[in-house]
Amino acid sequence: MATYKVSFVIVGSDQPGAIFSMRNAPRVGDTVKLDNDLFEVTEVFELMPPRGDFHYYHATCRMIDIEKTSTK
Amino acid sequence: MSFKNNLQDVELFNGLTSVELAEISHICHEKIFKPGDTIAFQGAQGDEMYIITEGFVQVSIRQISGERIIVNLGAGQIFGEMALVDKGPRSATVKAISDPTVVQIIHANDFDQICTQNNHIGYIVMRNLASDISFKLRHRNLSEAG
């Protein structure tokens, strides 16, 4: 079973980002929850070539403005 | 799911056989932390490596300007590995931030012994350790650039 190790970097926020493994590759538009805050994936690329069942990705994210989205 | 199956999802052990994973499982000790618990202190001597099997930890460093959180690590990731490689003091403070935060602990002596006794385990684990450090460096570079 494939494992996707992902480097998450948050732009425009104090959130330090994260590294964790997932069952599916991240995709642009995905929503990620870190430290009770929600982020949207805006960019994805392969960070290193895969080895065995392990894949290595980077995802750039931006914070989702809860107030704006909830008032739409 | 057995603990040995969980180890298959840890990159550090990618490439080990089922028998070798069983050997590794014998030197792992599970510990459960609550949010706010400090698992490792920057500057302290460390002789253990940690594998996160559930939850998240927060990695921070002390600077002149104060404490700076540098990354959160989640399931499948390792920390404390630098002390096993270079025998130096802990480079960062690591705190549990989720409830629960479950880690597997491997003691340096057990780690050295198993790598020495089985060269295949030693080669695979050291290669994966180098890959993990490389990944963290790439993450750090992208984080600094962002």
Give A48 to chain B, closest Cα distance, Å: 8
Please judge whether B139 and A17 are an interchain contact, meaning their C-beta atoms are less than 8 angstroms apart. yes
Give the Cα separation of A31 and B114 in Å (integer).
41
pLDDT digits (tens, 9 = 90+) for B69-112: 999 999 999 999 987 788 889 999 999 999 999 999 999 999 89
Instruction: Over range B13-26, report the average pLDDT.
Output: 94
Collapse the DSSP code of A67 into the 3-class scheme (helix H, G, I; strand E, B; otherwise coil) and give the result: helix
Inter-chain contacts counted by CB atoms under 8 A, chains A and B: 78
Please judge whether B77 and A9 are an interchain contact, meaning their C-beta atoms are less than 8 angstroms apart. no
Residue of A19, A53, A60 with shortest CB distance to B77: A19
DSSP E strands in B8-109: the ranges are 28-33, 38-40, 48-54, 57-63, 66-73, 78-79, 93-96, 101-107
Looking at residue A67, its pLDDT comes to: 55
Give the Cα separation of B108 and B106 in Å (integer).
6
Quote the tokens at residue B121.
């385990």
Domain boundary assignment for chain A: 3-65
Which pairing describes strands A37-51 and A54-63: parallel, antiparallel, or unpaired? antiparallel
Looking at residue B6, its pLDDT comes to: 75
Chain A interface, mutation test: which of B10, B11, B77, most A Cβ atoms within 10 Å?
B11
pLDDT digits (tens, 9 = 90+) for B32-65: 999 999 999 999 999 999 999 999 999 999 988 8
With a cut of 70, say whether residue B67 has pLDDT above it. Answer: yes
Q: Which CATH code fits B3-140? A: 2.60.120.10
* B146 interfaces chain A, CB cutoff of 8 Å: yes
Mean pLDDT split into 10-residue runs, chain A, 72 residues: 94 89 95 88 96 95 70 45
pLDDT digits (tens, 9 = 90+) for B108-125: 999 899 999 999 999 999
Q: Count of residues for chain A?
A: 72
